[in-house]
Amino acid sequence: MEKNNKFWQFRNESSEEKAELLLYGEISNETWFGDEVTPKQFATDLQAMGGKDLIVHVNSPGGDVFAAHAIYNQLKAYSGQVTAYVDGLAASAATIITCAADKVVMPSNALFMIHNPSVGVMDYLDEKKAIDLAENLQKVKQSIINVYLKRCQSLKAEELQEMMDNETWLDAKEAIEYGFADEQAEYEVKNSIADGVAHFNNVACSLKRFSNVAQLKNVLSKEKESEDMKDSSILKAIQEIKDLLGGNKGEDPAVIAERERVQALDALKDGSQLVDALVDIAKAKGDTAEKMADYIEAIKADSEEPNLSKGIEEIKNLIIDQQNSGAKDVAPAGEEKKPEVDAVNELVKAMNNMRGEK
């Protein structure tokens, strides 16, 4: 059975105008040299795309820097337009590949990380070997800086070197500001950290491979806060729209309720002095139109007869009930509350007038 160590996947449907390249997970789990996973094989697969515009989906913590450089060079030489999408994470060697694209697109909470190259040593090193290794690492670092400088026109080599020394994590906004990315996507990806493992849109990697985990957590926390704020802003906008459609214009619900109570009471007025005075008392006392309806009907029915005993009795009961209830002292919207004694005097005056008294 033929072994397949390819860490890439091309998609080239004949009916589609664009082709796709998926780079998910490690960049070359096995060495780029010495097996069937070769720069020549990648070049052959890329050439098979026939010059179509190419969409490169990257979600990788990095890997073999030499493999990344080889892919970078081949993508730069490709005849079609290359657009890279960071589908969660572009870190370490994966950032070299994204820099080959004509345009790099990142969701707001996707991450971009640059740091110094490193090497695992399974041998004893004397002074000379250690110095040689350090010098080679410096050369590799410079090759990475050269790639970054071509894309990030506003950054200097010294600035990039410091960012790499510190293992710098960038969200989409920051990556665009530095020049690593060009455009922020409208969609978002899922990122999280749990039990020492970071998950970037379903691609997992151990936090042990990163030295600046504190900044990584801060960036993810910042993005989470931004999402929460966005959710809050959306809910607020929806409420404002509902208020506008309902004619409330974002007013305090208590103010709206008070205005509606007063409007309902005003609707009970019929132009008669007694009814209108009683409604004004109800407004001042904080009563509702529903509570006053029976009293108003009693007064209207009784006012057609010579004596007003029934209506007067109902009004007395109302005043007694209100005095004993401890009704909330709420002023009508847009009006100052009249003192209770003045309201009762107005009512008595109206009743006397109906009797023909002065």
Q: Compute the 3-state secondary structure of the chain and give helix, strand, coil in percent, each to the nearest 5.
A: 50, 15, 35
**Which distant-in-sequence residues (6+ apart) come within 8 Å of 192 by Cβ?**
198, 199, 220
**Positive/negative CA dihedral, 90, 96, 97, 101:** positive
User: Where along the chain do its domains lie?
Assistant: 9-221, 253-355
Per-residue pLDDT band at 289 (split at 50, 70, 90): confident
What is the CATH number that goes with domain 9-221? 3.90.226.10
Return phi, psi of residue 61, to 5°. -80, 0
Please give the structure tokens belonging to residue 224: 């989470």
pLDDT at position 136: 93
**CA–CA dist 158, 190 (Å, integer):** 33
Mean pLDDT (whole number) for 27-43: 74
Q: Which of the four pLDDT bands, split at 50, 70 and 90, describes residue 327?
A: very low
The pLDDT assigned to 99 comes to: 98
Q: Give yes or no for a contact between 257 and 332, defined as CB atoms under 8 angstroms apart.
A: no
pLDDT at position 97: 97
Find where tokens 């989906």 sit.
Answer: 57
Grouping H, G, I as helix, E, B as strand and the rest as coil, residue 125 is coil
pTM of the model: 0.62
Is the pLDDT at 356 greater than 80? The verdict is no
Gyration radius from the chain CA atoms = 39
Question: Does pLDDT of 269 surpass 90?
Answer: no
Mean pLDDT score of the chain, rounded to an integer? 81
Confidence of residue 30 (pLDDT cuts 50, 70, 90): low
Cα distances from 225 to residues 88, 149, 183, 287, in angstroms, run 18, 32, 21, 45
pLDDT tens by residue, 148-172: 999 998 999 999 999 999 999 999 9
